[in-house]
Structure 1
Amino acid sequence: MYVIIAGGGVVGYYTAQFLNKADHDVVVIEEDKARAEELSEKLEAVVVNGNASEIKTLQEAGVENTDVLLALTGSDESNILISILGKQLGAKRVLTRITHIEYSEDIFKKLGIDSVIYPELAIATQIEEMVRDPDITGFAMLDKGDIDVVEFRIDQKSKLIGKAVDSVKLPDKSKIVSLVRGGKIEVFKPGLKIQPGDNVLVLTNNKEIQKVEQIFSK
């Protein structure tokens, strides 16, 4: 299998080692230049130095051809965004590392994330099993927390029609993570404009959800 690992920390490093030994083709994306050089020396894998949450970096890693994208950085929020973007760009499956925040199962299903990895419960060998077996998801262990995904339908009267997705001003901890048009997820590009009938998914929290609702109800 062709596997991309976003994040070259401890979890990403040992997972790459296990996947190499299992004869998978591995590409590791690491943002820190010095760490990327170190990984290049230690691993039998292609190492891309860049930000995995950027389209150009994922494309450089070959995301459109990957069988599995593993989002294994140390940030839950970054991993979710990487997974969404990877799915939009053509990754067949995405596995996402979640650490500090408890999310509900519905959130991951809405975002198209196939499987969830808990470092406290899944060591590198278990991750390798998840790569091989699509039926292992980890969803059963999720509980609802303070983070949620809210879906907004854009009607004909919305003031957001014609606005670029990246120009919509949201509270600091909230982000538009996906736009569904005609039943298909649109790949985020600079200047992608909101149209009537679009469904917009926003990652937010309990403190900001009312402000977000006000923005989309105008």
Structure 2
Amino acid sequence: MATRPRLDYENLDDLALAERIAARDPEAVRLVTGRNNQRLFRAAWSILRDRFEAEDVVQSAYLRAFEAIGTFEGRSSLSTWLTRIAVNEALGRRRAEKRRRAHLNGALVLDDYREKLMRGSMTETPPGADLAREQIRGLLEAAIARLPENFRLAFVLREVEELSVEETAETLGIPAATVKTRHLRARRRLSEALAPELKSALTGAFPFAGADCEAMTERVLAAYCADRQ
């Protein structure tokens, strides 16, 4: 009996991957989450400014998206579709938290991100990591955290995630001209607060890889594909 050739997941297009995810295929889920974990995490963090809340939002966004994967029509990329869901999830989470705080305290209390401000999401410092670079990265992330939310989200998607103006506009549901304006103003504000040489640390900011990335994928697999095991 002839053996069926193994499916080449890496070369499947977005619609084909969506079909596999709809069938609760663990390999498709693993591939898509691995490709998008960092982008979704960075987008969620840019809204919530809290690492643990951002991780929870990413997991919730995946589960929400995968349950509705049949509605994905390929009009945008799968990554853009997922990022938009994560952004909406984070915004909803923040609105709910504001309502809760207002109800309990009568007014919004100080944001607790000052105590929990992410200094990178790696659970351990990589062997041989340069302390000075980590300090610079911390300064950069703190400066980005102080940007107004609209500027911060546009900046993270454009500069850190390297989305195009059009992709960012589609993800956020705003005109491309607005993306350009917010991005430019964010850069100007950062340039006033940071020396030019800090730009080199931007690529490594907000890492969400290695064990963190794999752990997120495993949690989504356990929640979404459990009934296939």
Which TM-score bucket, shorter chain as reference? under 0.3
TM-score (norm. length: structure 1): 0.24
TM-score (norm 2): 0.24
> Considering only CA atoms, is the larger Rg found in Structure 1 or Structure 2?
2
- Larger helix share, 1 or 2: 2
